[in-house]
Chain A
Amino acid sequence: MNEIISLSVHELIEKLRAREVSSEEATRAYLGRIEETEERVHAYLSVLEEEALAAAQEADKRLAGGDNDASPLLGVPVAVKDLLCMKGTPTTCASKFLENFISPYDATAVRLLKEAGAVILGKANMDEFAMGSSTEHSAYGPSRNPWNLETIPGGSSGGSAATVAARSCAASLGSDTGGSIRQPAACCGVVGMKPTYGRVSRYGLIAFASSLDQIGPFARNVRDCAIMLNAVSGHDPLDSTSTDESVPDFTGDLGAGAKGLRIGIPKEYFIDGMDPDVESAVQNAIKTMEENGAEIHEISLPHSQYALPVYYIIASAEASSNLARYDGVRYGLRANGNSEEYGPLYGMYAASREEGFGEEVKRRIMLGTYALSSGYYDAYYTKAQRVRTLICREFEDVFQNVDVIMSATAPTPAFRFGERMDDPISMYLSDILTIPCNLAGLPGISQPCGVTSLDLPIGLQIIGKPFGETTVLRAAAAFEKATDHHLALSPL
């Protein structure tokens, strides 16, 4: 194994600053690793070799000049999920609809990564329009889990997780609407974090469900995750839902330990049908935290069982509205069509959308349109929003007495390809433990806490209060320090 790609982000930064490694060497090492692994993993939809090498050479010039405190990721090769716009490069959202779309601007998160000096290696695979839990809904074929190529890497940010696990980038960005960062992080044995809603600007993120979508990092350890989050957080006038809450240094409390931390364990998160290896790994994690000085409190979140139905109404409704923009008029695919009943313009809309969208996207647009249609709006959409209030209140109450909540990230490890494709509800159940956090806008992290008897990674989820990322990261760092699960490497 090439030594450079075995370095984590903070180790690589030190070597770059000390001029022991150049950014060009690091970038070439990762491009080589991509070439070596992509045929098996398919984590990328596009590799930006030319752009990456140019950015690396620029970084090396600046590294030679010194004083680079304003560019904390200077020279570090990363990947971004292919729903973040990057000027002059393809952004497909893993959809046929955007197959030939070249982004005319940078997403704010991409701009901030570039300003921090990161080298963007390419765009990571995902489920089409971020709808899915396995990348099997990518129009360009699924990614494979580097731990076991017969299993899914999780989704929707499966490519972003797989590339970190395959060590074909140092860290990456994904997005999380109902678990799309945390669930693939769990499947691939890496760290993934969804920050508080509003923490990272969504400008230039291709919208799925606007009241839930949030961008966040994947990394090999908690410190790297905090460094990535530092780079992309902050208020942005181009996103009216980005908050002006001050941004702390997310690495600030990493060494504070578990002592005195009040950890809530929701009994409802140990659901029927949970994999026994997952359950025992999480119980061991709780024990570890207790041994390191944390106070463990059993808590109850009785409305958790309603989170999944609420999510599928709200997310699908918002998606049906957001995806109305794909009409064949301004950008993306246009197909020829005519409708005898409604005329040529309707015919063009319908034909373009039929040709451009995959089955899961259509299913959600149908569900969302139904839930918003006349006569059903109150029964479905308003009802779901009212139950969402109950879920939010329940978290508020619980957080009066605990600092963070701990659970499994997903009830099972990565499943095999095809296993859940014919039953949408079984696929949706992959996100049952991650969705409540999105509905309440809370920050959540998934980190490795062991492997199953079949050697598949298990994820530990830690959820915090709104804008409580530093406490979540502190708890995760304390667990990481006490164990060595994060050091386990995929066999690839």
Chain B
Amino acid sequence: MAISREDVLHVSKLARLELSEAEIEKFTGQLGDILDYISKLNELDTKDVPPTAHVLEITNVFREDKVDAPRIGSIEEIAPEFHKGHFRVPKVIE
């Protein structure tokens, strides 16, 4: 399946990836090849087959609603910018 330069630019925006010109060119060809390979799945009729999201039969696990002792160390030390209990980010609202 051919994938266009516009498709690549659209998806890179959705993924918040700023691609270089060389990457845009390379990915346009490679993603098309990979999608071609993947289209093999269309050989199979799966309309009556339920999807598997997960192999285990899992159900929600609830715990008592109480605060545990903190399990992790300081998040301030690993934050790019931290200010009075908050993560600092570039201006969002004008």
Contact = CB atoms under 8 A, between A and B. Distances in A.
**Are A and B a genuine interacting pair, yes or no?**
yes
Interface of A: 87-88, 101-102, 104-105, 197-198, 211, 237-238, 240-241, 243, 303, 305-306, 308-310, 312-313, 320, 324, 327-334, 337-338, 343-351, 353-354, 357, 359, 362-363, 365-367, 369-370, 373, 380, 382-390, 392, 424-425, 439-441, 466
A320 B16 CA distance: 11
Q: Is the interface of A mostly helix, strand, loop or mixed?
A: helix
A425 B15 contact: no
Contacts of A357: 17
B37 A425 contact: yes
A312 B14 contact: no
A240 B56 contact: no
Contact of A327 (B7, B16, B31, B71): B16
16 contacts: A102-B78, A197-B56, A238-B71, A241-B56, A312-B38, A329-B87, A330-B75, A331-B79, A349-B16, A366-B11, A366-B31, A385-B51, A386-B50, A386-B51, A387-B49, A440-B55
B69 interface: no
Given A328-B80, A386-B49, A237 B63 contact: yes
Contacts of B44: 303, 306, 387, 390
B92 to A, nearest CB: 5
A303 B20 CA distance: 38
Contact of A354 (B8, B19, B63, B91): B19
Contacts of A241: 54, 56, 58
Q: Is the interface of B mostly helix, strand, loop or mixed?
A: loop
B17 A329 contact: no
Interface string B11-32: 1101111111001000100110
Given A309-B38, A313-B38, A373-B14, A344 B51 contact: no
A385 B31 contact: no
A332 B78 CA distance: 7
Interface residues of B, number: 54
A347 B18 CA distance: 9
A87 B18 contact: no
Interface in B52-74: 52-56, 58, 60-61, 63, 71-74
A346 B92 CA distance: 9
Interface of B: 3, 7-8, 10-12, 14-20, 23, 27, 30-31, 33-35, 37-38, 40-42, 44, 46, 49-56, 58, 60-61, 63, 71-75, 77-81, 87, 89-92
A373 B60 CA distance: 27
Contacts of B63: 237
Nearest to A333: B80
Contact of A310 (B30, B41, B49, B56): B41
B79 A354 contact: no
A330 B87 contact: yes
Contacts of A105: 71-73
Contact of B18 (A343, A353, A390): A353
A365 B15 contact: yes
Given A241-B58, A309-B37, A334-B81, A320 B15 contact: yes
B49 A425 contact: no
Contacts of B78: 101-102, 104, 330-332
Contact of A392 (B7, B40, B55): B55
A362 B89 contact: no
Contact of A345 (B10, B75, B79, B91): B91
A363 B19 CA distance: 11
A330 B54 CA distance: 29
A320 B33 CA distance: 19
Contacts of A308: 37
Contacts of A345: 89-92
Given A87-B73, A105-B72, A392-B55, 8 more contacts: A345-B92, A363-B30, A363-B31, A366-B15, A367-B31, A370-B3, A387-B46, A440-B55
